[in-house]
Structure 1
């Protein structure tokens, strides 16, 4: 994988991948006027010390890769990765790579909690790292890599690319010849292409909760009701308030217009000024999106305290009115609880009632604060926006988690790499119709899984494949109609 691409010859300049350096000091000469030869009438004005500095656009990657190849193969798999201490995760699954190295901590949790733009974390930044280096792959084996990427500073458009770099036959064994001849495949070219790239199945998807698992959705679970519990304290003012309103409305629209017709959404505000009990249901559960939209649009940011626990309990009181069992609460806050019921106690009440709770955070709240009331496993139910501009996309991640993660491509390894080689435009907000750039300060994950099906036989013996996967970022500001950098005619753009 690489996130650095030298493409000056194709017309992609510095402003695309990274703005290098700054625009130096630009001085405006001072203006002085002298009338005649005397000093009695004189004047001088100036504009001194002017400077302009360029911002940044830096793409950084981290990842977690696993190999499922059956129990008892730790020493064998570890030998394939001399630069990484392979770990047996149990049930024949092996951890074969992890950046950042979080030690005994959970990677999925840490990549959503850390400021991954911190240079001390040593993320993949201009390096090429093979995440799969495997020999003796057998039918039934599989592997998965979850790639987390980070746009540092300015928002950006992102493309994913890939290439099949080798599909080698590597000679023949006797069983392989028999299998290929039975399939009507020529065995005249031992140095030609093998069959492995066409036998391996690959799935690529937006892994919303970064858990290494493709989850197509809740279609079999029946209708769902979602209570939006939103912080209305004074610190939520300005762009933070507007981002929350936009994100909450997009989530509600996804649930009510694209899901089961019996889905419902309710809205609760907490910590607004004038509430008698710190929280209030402003729209009871309904299937009418217009009513929910109107309620969310009224979200204030004027409260003097933060009563998260009261918001939880009040939201749960609305969920109790739903006739189906699939109840979900989505809570957004930017601070720490300082009034009313403790969030941990309120969270226990909500979870004991059977409600699945997602905790969304921004600003002064912390991962630990959110974990106090989020459902287990917390790494799949806590979402954090480092920057206010990412709040809307945090809601979108939860919406996609509830509705089902979006597939990017599915096919054989050869088909997948051919598709990626043309450059796949990734969408920063899967809940909106139009493609959006990726916000800075937000962790987003892409999952890639390969599998050699159990019914593949001797025809792939001795075969080997190699492939590359990469990402490319380009600034989005003043760039509303970006050109695919991997298109065949991109050099002409």
Structure 2
């Protein structure tokens, strides 16, 4: 170990530059696992205390090349920094497994992962290979010394996993325990799937790992601050490992012949004490901020054919935006990633685009008023909600459902809490319908007192506490017979500012207000119909059929494009960042979408 009283402040670029001659060669697929690691028990401008943290990473690598045989390496790195790997001589049908098992000496710590592809090389052509993008060359058509196709051809699944205790037990009598292979691995939770190139783009600016081996919703990395700590050496509990299963599909052609791939993975530990998990050590102060050239007209205004349905930065530095494109090509799903360009705060971004007419992820949040005034409406609304869920299931949407009950926050009438999570997100429609059916008047939040209810708090609580799926379409259905209010003793800035906060949150949702009509002569801004107007939502009369909700959702789903990217500026600085997306439509010409998100602070 290096002297624990040292302070280290290295940029990613300077760490990666030092890897050069450090390597641990392996046979076969050539997946060597080596490291150039520096102790980083402290980071400048953070609250870490030097001398109380040490990260060790046990690493394991296995590969299977069919008739060419299998191989494996394993070892331990002491410190925090970079683990390097190389893939070459890889053929269609080859596969392998990487496992990284962190051990935190002394104090519990937050753990972060980041990395980059350092080489994705063509290495010339040994056989004829496609020389045009139209014929299959993904990177540099016809350039023998250019970029290869290996990174885009390898499929990867990332999971939290557990490993057997006796993998490297070379001294026992059981030869089966003398090395690492897939039988030593038990998957805990699937985190991410895609190509190797897409994975490295996703983690390029850093993602937090979860010490409990949990994922938000069905999959994905947690948003910074929502992850659990990895336990320290004093704990009797074990930390999960991170496993990367890779394979080259058999349908991949000879475009990868001779290609090679090199990459770096960085693991960073930051103690939990006095930290909240939001600081991203992969984007430390020494990192050179990138601002790629932007070819988009950032002064453009939004085209009438484009509707921005939502912009989601909950998995920052990953950002996703849903667009409805009301053109022939847009509605038919004919637009591809090559038709889109995006700039964030004047900087170009690498993006992926999905047309989501099938298998669209939709996260429904129901907010239900259960105070006494809803006594004549509650049973009918419960039936309407359950019928609506049946319709969603029949349409085959990839849906999850959550239910919050809310009441009156004035302690004179009910006392806290004013908001109660009756059902966290579930994809089981029957489970959710049972939760709705078992909801009762006054449940957990009381019967209320004065007419207004604490609906704004329900909106803000649901947005803050629920774990939405990355890139999902967020839908909030707000059911009440009353306007919103807030306990003045618990409000900073007054009711108007609380409403403004709710409006800001709802910009990321497709919002439906199910409530009574308002007095058109003197409309109350805190009535739900007025709130729906201000967030481009939809109002439905309380007690009426909820069919229009599904109709609108189906329309949005059928014409939605999900634009994903990992921001080139991963700094958690709380800044508002403008996004301009340029769409090249074959019939309508150049179209623009404009939106904004706020980076976490």
Q: In which range does the TM-score fall when normalised by the shorter chain?
A: 0.3 to 0.5
TM-score, normalised to structure 2's length?
0.34
Please identify which structure carries the higher helix content.
Answer: 1
TM-score, normalised to structure 1's length?
0.40
